[in-house]
A and B are shown apart, each in its own frame.
Chain A
Amino acid sequence: MKQIWAILSGAPDADRVVPPTGFTVWLTVFSAAAMAFLAVFALALSLAAERLSVRWGQELARTSTVRISAPSAQEALQTAAALTVLETTPGVARARALSDAEQEALLAPWFGADLPLDALPIPRLIEVVEAGAGYDAEGLRARLAAEAPGAILDDHTRWRRPLIEAANRLRTIGWVSLLLIMLSMAAMITLAAQSALAANAGVIRTLRLVGARDSYIARAFVHRFTMRAALGAGLGTVLAMGAVAALPTADVAGGFLTGLGFWGASWLLPLLIPPLAGGVGFAATRAAALRALRKMP
């Protein structure tokens, strides 16, 4: 804790003893910025996939459909019978038969707007909205079979599960990407720190000859790389947040990609990336410095 405070407060004495290192400063800052930029998008992807998974799970789990496939003469009768069964089924909040216009609208993307619904043997659809813990699907199927033989209950389980699974995997990929980005940042900072330590072998020798402990020497490098990683990550995060904010909205384009973004309080999450990058820089440089100093004669 004391050392972290020393890093944040500047550790000016330790930092000054190592000479400035020119272009490697900008390489470290640039790499950290690039990694943070990618990290923001990985975070946005994870959050979007999570929202999708939750939405699909909630929406699809609470609705189901009953199809009435009966000869046209019996369709109205069986529809009414099915509605009566549904209205008296515990766990069903409401059920209603879709109108011809609604059914046409559903089929329009595939068959066009001027679909002659009367001329086609299209089953009547009943939308069922569940209440509380939902209904007993097997019991409902049995009752429908008895009262309306042409009624088929589709509770969406068959295709809901793979969709939710896909969204969950996408979310996992997003978090794994975030982790890989942070590990890459740690590897990059470790390499840069090792290079700086090797380039300053003479300085390190002088410091040791005048009585410097390894922790003091390490602090000079740790402070430098922590600040560079945090600064670069700050720049990358700001740019990426701007890019995310500039993505088209769902109203304009529609589809999954338009959901890639942050909403409400989730805009605060990317702001954790710069301090996290600073933490990664601190840990990676400290480990690299102490390891390198142990090996130096």
Chain B
Amino acid sequence: MIELHKAGYSYGQDAILRDVSLQLAPGSFHFLTGPSGAGKSTLLKLCYGDLLANTGTVKLLGQDARDLSRDALAKVRQRIGVVHQDCQFLDHLSITQNVALPLAVSGRDVEAEAENLAQLLAWVGLSPRAHALPPELSGGERQRAALARAIIMGPDVILADEPTGNVDWEMSQRLLSLLVELNKMGKTVLIATHDLGLIRAAKAQVSARVLRLAGGSVQLAGADL
């Protein structure tokens, strides 16, 4: 699905990732952990083509990210659902319209998908807030809406960047359950988080691989997690 081979990335002179090799196999569940500033978000951005590796190669759905044209990258992003840390909503559109945005930009008939859209909003528990604007939602509701938008296109891979960063324990468990459920449907999931409690809770529900990002490289985390 997504494969990094000796990938490196630098912001100016500061190398944040060095020789990172990682393979997200279909149906796998990964956690990416590490201290703040370790490069978790940068690594995720390499995984959906928002950044291009300075060294090494990154393959997105079998295609070298460097060789992708803008249009080809847009198509790849329709198959990789991303839950961004800051949600990235359009504040002038309702939650329903924001969730439907990937359908609209890919040229699909949003009206024809209205029932699926309603079911999805119900699944993430946002039916009563369907017509609210993003600034009117709580942190947990925003994260659930972001998850709904990430999966509306039925992607093969779901990447989540600190999805529980701004929510309470109960809500983070609810979000985790949704992601575990998606993984059980066959989706590949990668969650970047520094919330070790979340990882421990997940390991009780799903077979997850935990990767620790430190010093610019990725290691498999030990059994202490």
Are A213 and B89 also in contact (CB < 8 A) when A16-B97, A17-B101 are? no
Residue A208, interface by CB 8 Å? yes
> Which of chain A's residues have a CB closer than 8 A to the CB of B92?
19-20
> Which of chain B's residues have a CB closer than 8 A to the CB of A209?
48, 50, 77, 82, 84, 88
Question: From DSSP, what is the main secondary structure of chain A's interface residues?
Answer: helix
Tell me if A17 and B78 are in contact (CB < 8 A): no
Q: Which of A201-219 contact B (CB under 8 A)?
A: 203, 205-214, 216
Residue B75, interface by CB 8 Å? yes
Residue A13, interface by CB 8 Å? yes
Smallest beta-carbon distance B97→chain A, Å: 7
A102 to B149, CA, bound (A): 91
Smallest beta-carbon distance A292→chain B, Å: 13
Of residues A20, A209, A216, which shows the largest number of chain B Cβ atoms within 10 Å of its Cβ?
A: A209
> Which of chain A's residues have a CB closer than 8 A to the CB of B90?
17, 19, 203, 206
Contact code string B49-64 (vs A, CB < 8 Å = 1, else 0)? 0100000000000000
> Which of chain B's residues have a CB closer than 8 A to the CB of A14?
104
A150 to B46, CA, bound (A): 100
> Which of chain A's residues have a CB closer than 8 A to the CB of B102?
210-211
Q: Which A-chain residue is minimally distant from B106 (CB atoms)?
A: A211
Tell me if A206 and B88 are in contact (CB < 8 A): yes
Q: Which A-chain residue is minimally distant from B72 (CB atoms)?
A: A213
Smallest beta-carbon distance B156→chain A, Å: 13
Q: Which of B58-115 contact A (CB under 8 A)?
A: 70-71, 74-75, 77-78, 82, 84, 88-93, 97, 101-102, 104-107, 110
Tell me if B101 and A210 are in contact (CB < 8 A): yes
Contact code string A178-206 (vs B, CB < 8 Å = 1, else 0)? 00000000000000000000000001011
Q: Which 4 A-B pairs have the closest CB atoms?
A: A212-B105, A211-B78, A211-B77, A19-B92
